[in-house]
Structure 1
Amino acid sequence: VKQVLEPLAIANNVAQSGHCRLDHITLTLGNLYRIYSNPELNHVMRQKILGSLEKRWAAADQDIFILAVFFNPYVRQPPFSTSILTHAQLFNIAKRTYTRFNQSEPDLDFLKAFVSYYNNEDDYSKDRMELEMLKQAFDKENKPVDLVFIWNRMSSPSNMFVQLAIRILSIIANTAGVERNFSQFGLTHTKLRNSLNVSTVHKSTLI
């Protein structure tokens, strides 16, 4: 029973975390699929779980979830099999998503940036992005690594590739953070202490 239920419980905790991102969801689904593909598990149970995972993935906005993993600079493309998702196919996903968001196609610099990032080269190498230094800084503060912060350090209005990364990684994976803020609003602004206006409550809570 533990072998069957424990991975699902862990996945549920990940999905409900206040810091959950879309790449967490994608990688968690992939890991569950790997776990329940084990032929040693009960065949009927295994097929039902795999069928459920496949159904959820089929209903997802797959381009966005794939790019969320790719734009995590600590992960990038290695989780994806090149026999299924080639360099060209991954670029087409990025290009298609950029066009969908901006109603215009990306320029040649977008392609060059994609290639550099894919190959861990130039400005997009792990060293140039200072990934290890930033991870240590966040770890020191006991905080999760802020991927949007990392990409913002490279941001410029003309860099379409970086702007797409920021937009994808800014998507909220669940409502946990929002619900926590509303709970805090309720503690700050009560019937007995309601002299603060809504704007002040919002600022004091988020700060």
Structure 2
Amino acid sequence: IKKHLEPLALAANITQATYCRLDQVLITFGILFSKFSSILNTPNDPTDCVPLMRATLKSIEKRCEKSDQDIFIAPVILNPLYKASPFSSSVKFMTATGVWELCSRLWMRFYKEEAPIQLYRELVSYLSNQDRYGKLPDHIRRETALAASENKSVNPMSIYIAMTNLVNPLPTPLERLARHQLTVSANSASCERLFSAFGLILTRLRSRMSIKSMTDLAEL
């Protein structure tokens, strides 16, 4: 029972967390698919579990097929912790040109304009750890160590922030696109908890508090 239910429990905890990113959703589905495929191919696994495993795999495939795949694939690639590592080598578009085409489509959708050529140059540098991203592995090690010392998961945006030019803090095209996708909450848990907090704060005794004070209390 533990072997079959534990992956589902972990997936539920991740996707229903207060803050769940888009890249975490795709990674979670990938882990689920890998786990259940492995269980299905285990010779000693009880035969009565086979229909359950097949139904779960079919459900995952169906949901992924119906989803807006670009929206979930791009955040994984733009997460410095992952880049292309979670994807199979058989994925044809997993090249610098393929990633550029993916990001340029999203750029057009988000900003209603053609993606700047600077984005392509920056993507190539980012994927190969060159130029401004030459010290990216060092930033990742530091942020990972810091997060581990605080018993937290690494926020990929903190890596981008660490590389922001202090003199000219305007985001580069890649940083702009990454921020647009890596700061999205993939569920409504954060909103629901915020409204629950407001319900506890907005009482008859505190009804005259300003919006800012209420927001500060809710965030605490």
- Per the normalisation by structure 2, the TM-score is 0.83
Which residue in 1 is equivalent to 2:155?
A: 146
1:120 aligns with 2:129: yes
Mapped to 2, the partners of 1:158 and 1:185 lie a distance apart of 33
CA contact (8 A) 1:154 1:162 kept: no
1:159 aligns with 2:168: no
The equivalent position to 2:120 in structure 1, one of 103, 111, 114, is 111
Greater CA drift, 114-123 or 49-58:
114-123
Mapped to 1, the partners of 2:171 and 2:181 lie a distance apart of 17
Taking only aligned residues, the RMSD between alpha carbons, in angstroms, comes to 2.2
Counterpart of 2:61 in 1: which secondary structure? helix
Mapped to 2, the partners of 1:204 and 1:3 lie a distance apart of 41
Which residue in 1 is equivalent to 2:56?
A: 49
Which residue in 2 is equivalent to 1:190?
A: 203
Mapped to 2, the partners of 1:83 and 1:23 lie a distance apart of 20
| Structure 1 residues 30-67: Cα deviation after superposition (integer angstroms, max 9, x where no partner) | 01111111222543222211110011111221111111
1:79 aligns with 2:59: no
Paired letter, 2:65: A
Which residue in 1 is equivalent to 2:111?
A: 102
Q: Which runs of 5+ in 1 are unaligned?
A: none
Greater CA drift, 85-94 or 59-68:
85-94
CA contact (8 A) 2:84 2:94 kept: no
Q: Which runs of 5+ in 2 are unaligned?
A: none
- Note closer, same or farther for the CA distance 1:204–1:6 as it changes in structure 2 (3 Å cut): closer
Following superposition, the deviation at residue 153 of structure 1 comes to 4.3
Paired letter, 1:86: M
- Per the normalisation by structure 1, the TM-score is 0.88
Mapped to 1, the partners of 2:177 and 2:206 lie a distance apart of 43
Which residue in 2 is equivalent to 1:169?
A: 182
Which residue in 1 is equivalent to 2:75?
A: 68
Mapped to 2, the partners of 1:161 and 1:175 lie a distance apart of 27
Aligned residues: 207
| Structure 1 residues 53-102: Cα deviation after superposition (integer angstroms, max 9, x where no partner) | 01111122111111111111111111112321321322211111111111
Following superposition, the deviation at residue 204 of structure 1 comes to 3.5
Which residue in 1 is equivalent to 2:27?
A: 27
CA contact (8 A) 2:74 2:103 kept: yes
List, as ranges, runs of 4+ consecutive aligned residues in structure 1 with deviation greater than 6 Å.
none
- Note closer, same or farther for the CA distance 1:193–1:159 as it changes in structure 2 (3 Å cut): closer
Which residue in 2 is equivalent to 1:58?
A: 65
CA contact (8 A) 2:139 2:162 kept: no
CA contact (8 A) 1:33 1:50 kept: yes
Following superposition, the deviation at residue 14 of structure 1 comes to 0.9
- Note closer, same or farther for the CA distance 1:86–1:195 as it changes in structure 2 (3 Å cut): closer
